[in-house]
Structure 1
Amino acid sequence: MMKKIFTLIFAGLLLLSCNASKTIKSDTVSKLDGSWELNYITGPRIAFDGLYPKKKPTIIFNTKENQVSGNNSCNTYTGKLFVNGNKIDFTQPMAVTKMMCMDGQQGEQTYMGTLQKITSYDITDDGKTRNFISGDIAMMRFTRK
């Protein structure tokens, strides 16, 4: 909801003042929809390709159903999507499969742990990249899959 105050002043006299309210529907949230692949994650001392030697993590957004799902390089996960403007919250428990993964176990843990720290997101001007942010630090970057 956006509120604006309009005033009309002529020769120093207030002629008109009114409040106007308008609901603005942001399509920014719906731009999350689709399948995205991780191509950057901050924090670990292991190179990205070392964390994810066989399969990069993915995330799938369905904003109409408030659902998030994906693959963390080994196991699949699913949960409720909490988005408000550019704020996003992955702290609620997600359902995760329990397959044993020989390669990429540290990558899986790094991915899920970092995802829980995310507080907001932004979309690049070209619309091809989603940056996930914690505070003011870009922690993860996804591109359209």
Structure 2
Amino acid sequence: MKPSIILLVSILILVCSCNPKLDNSEAVFNTTWELEYMSGPRIAFDGLFPEKKPQITFNKETHQVTGTDSCNGYSADFELDENSISFGEPGPTTMMFCGGGERQFLNMMQKIDGYIIQDGELNLMAGEVPMMRFKKVEQ
């Protein structure tokens, strides 16, 4: 009887210690996401985006993201495969200057290579590091 308990405990430890990468691709669609955190800039988040936060919306059919960089509208192609994601160069944006946060946001998107949706938040990753965290915008 003891060997079966040891086997059961070993299996439970193995299952709990694994970090399976679930395919959450469907969860990114049909919503607008608003940035609530961005790693990297030395300027405080609220200083980068004092008026309005960047937003992103994923279009499954066209494989494009659209949104605002807090000041200007943008669009870019994206590729999604399980938990990896990449963004193309942002297309034409409007040309207002609103303090520099918008450029840092678009530059950061070029560094993103993965994503995780956890607790209703979208985390865009560079390697294993969450670089940007978004919350769903209530419609």
TM-score per shorter chain, which class? 0.7 to 0.9
Gaps in structure 1 of 5+ consecutive residues:
1-25
State which of 118, 125, 129 in structure 2 corresponds to 1:133: 125
Q: Report % sequence identity.
A: 43
Q: 1:56 to 1:121 in 2, by over 3 A?
A: same
How many residues in Structure 1 have an aligned counterpart in Structure 2?
A: 115
Whose RCO is larger (CA < 8 A, sep 6+)? 2
Query: Hey, which bits of structure 1, 4+ residues long, moved more than 3 A?
Result: none
The offset of 1:48, in angstroms, is 0.6
| CA distances 1:39-65 after superposition (whole Å, capped 9, x unpaired) | 000011111100000000000111133
Equivalence for 1:89: 86
The residue identity in structure 2 corresponding to 1:70 is G
- SS of match in other structure, 2:100: helix
Pairing 1:29–2:49 present: no
Equivalence for 1:78: 75
- SS of match in other structure, 1:121: strand
State which of 108, 111, 120 in structure 2 corresponds to 1:114: 108
The offset of 1:99, in angstroms, is 2.2
- Pick the structure with more helix per residue: 2
What RMSD in Å do the two structures reach over aligned CA positions? Answer: 1.5
Gaps in structure 2 of 5+ consecutive residues:
1-21
In the superposition, the TM-score normalised over structure 1's length comes to 0.74
The residue identity in structure 1 corresponding to 2:113 is T
